[in-house]
Copies of this chain bind each other. A is one copy, B any other.
Amino acid sequence: MYEGAVQELIDELGRLPGVGPKSAQRLAFHILEADPQDMKRLVEAITTVKDKVKFCTVCGNVTEQELCNICRDPRRDPSIICVVEESKDVLAVERTRSFRGRYHVLGGAINPIAGVGPEQLRIRELLTRLNDGAVQEVIIATDPNLEGEATATYLARMLKSIGIAVTRLASGLPVGGDLEYADEVTLGRAFEGRRNALT
């Protein structure tokens, strides 16, 4: 064990996700030897995020204000909501530049093993948004894995029962990929979802 402060830093770093004991030690020694100005900036960045950044009261996306920059933007179509698991998924969809509606961030996916049920997600908030009748379509864009699919199915059934049009992102071959390397589930979905070759 190291002397007090170094060991404490290693312990704190080791609590971060994906940082094992060896990485924590390496990071601690980096911090120890780094330029004090650089480390001051890191500390300030952490403190600022904790002090200033919160979650948009409407969609749950990260923001430094009451509403996130997408919910504040009057040019974004309020009649379509894209439901995603995390704020980082908002960014991924934004990068495509093909969606001009609003978002709803669930804050995760249904995962009974990790103790995450529908009530732990921001589903109640989504229903509140749908109350005023302005929303025409909800696009479910959860991750294409077990938890994401379970969440999508749950949401689709619930939203259908209250009469909202619900769509899901297409499954299929990734663009630029190689057919022979596609897994069988993806390839199967690509067949199911085949479309007219002339459109």
Contact = CB atoms under 8 A, between A and B. Distances in A.
Interface of A: 1-6, 8-9, 11-13, 15-18, 23, 25-32, 36, 38-43, 45-50, 52-53, 62-64, 68-69, 86-88, 91
A53 B91 CA distance: 39
Contact of A36 (B4, B43, B50, B88): B50
Given A3-B69, A23-B18, A39 B30 contact: no
Nearest to A42: B12
9 contacts: A3-B53, A3-B68, A5-B45, A6-B49, A9-B45, A11-B45, A15-B38, A18-B27, A25-B88
Contacts of A36: 50
B49 A31 contact: yes
| Tally of this chain's copies | 2
Nearest to A95: B1
B28 A42 contact: no
B29 A87 contact: yes
Contacts of A5: 45, 48-49, 52-53, 64
Contact of A9 (B46, B68, B87): B46
A103 to B, nearest CB: 14
Contacts of A27: 16-18
A39 B28 contact: no
Contact of A32 (B8, B9, B53): B53
A196 B84 CA distance: 68
